[in-house]
Amino acid sequence: MNTHKEIIRIQDLSFSYDGRPFLEEINLCIYSDDFLGIIGPNGGGKTTLLKLILGILKPDSGVIEVFDKSPREGRAQIGYLSQFVDIDFDFPITAREVVLLSRLAGRLIKRYSQADKTAAEDALRQMKIWDLRNRKLNQLSGGEKQRVFVARALANRPRLLLLDEPMSNIDIHVQEAFYEILSDLHRSIAIVVVDHNLDMLSRYVKEVACINKCDSHGLRYHGIDSLEMKRICEA
């Protein structure tokens, strides 16, 4: 059962690209029982925000705490699905191998332990693709590939899932099945989903935040049932 604990704290975060201000004074808290959607226009900063949380990008100013640590230290407890997976889909690799790679966790010389293999199996089963585990990536459909990448994010048993546009190029019925799985996962993991489809999002997530670069309000926050704007970080 998820308690209501603060797991990510972002305060007065600012970030610029090549000297051009991009995000200004963002404030956001993510809690252990969150199922949060993030929407906003393209190029508005959603992916940037996720990358800042993950320590892939460094902020110009402000504080990001991930599980009470810096992003680079805390990110081991985050499972991440990026928007554009910059890979060659013809790469000779099976679904199971992709998921196992998540278990490497920073070590250079590493054989997979039994715990690694179990974690990978659990992740594949959770995403309902255990039967596809020995298929090559280029033998899987778009929806199946996405499940592989979510399984990869789950393999290190994260406490938070960050999913960046997991539903692009996936048709509606598959999206529904996907969100059903996410709802299931939400029973034990906090989930943050960046998505365009507000309709689908609003059916499943608890809250939605809207981000738009250099908006004077920074990150706007909407509860699903109300149109109130409120700050997310509790004092």
Task: Give the C-alpha separation, 217 to 219, whole Å.
Answer: 6
Considering the complex, state which of residue 137 and residue 182 has its C-beta at the smaller distance from another protein. Answer: 137
Considering the complex, state which of residue 154 and residue 201 has its C-beta at the smaller distance from another protein. Answer: 154
Site for another protein in 74-103 (CB under 8 A): 75-76, 78, 80, 82, 85-88, 91-94, 97-98, 100-102
212 binds another protein, rule: CB under 8 A? no
Q: Give the dihedral of Cα atoms 162, 165, 167, 170; nearest 10 deg.
A: -140
Considering the complex, state which of residue 50 and residue 201 has its C-beta at the smaller distance from another protein. Answer: 50
Quick one: DSSP state of residue 69? B
**Candidate list 60, 63, 70, 105; residue touching another protein; CB under 8 A:** 105
**Candidate list 25, 33, 112, 206; residue touching another protein; CB under 8 A:** 112
On whether the CB atoms of residues 36 and 209 are closer than 8 A, the answer is: yes
Q: Give the count of beta carbons closer than 10 Å to the beta carbon of residue 96.
A: 21
106 binds another protein, rule: CB under 8 A? yes
Q: How far is the CB of 190 from another protein (least distance, A)?
A: 17
58 binds another protein, rule: CB under 8 A? no
152 binds another protein, rule: CB under 8 A? yes
**Candidate list 104, 172, 198, 233; residue touching another protein; CB under 8 A:** 104
List CB contacts of 125: < 8 A, sequence separation 6 or more: none
Q: How far is the CB of 123 from another protein (least distance, A)?
A: 14
Task: Give the C-alpha separation, 159 to 77, whole Å.
Answer: 6
- Judge residue 172's burial from the number of C-beta atoms within 10 Å of its C-beta, 0-12 exposed, 13-18 middle, 19 or more buried: exposed
List CB contacts of 51: < 8 A, sequence separation 6 or more: 57
The residue ranges that bind another protein (CB under 8 A) are 54-56, 72, 75-76, 78, 80, 82, 85-88, 91-94, 97-98, 100-102, 104-112, 136, 152, 156
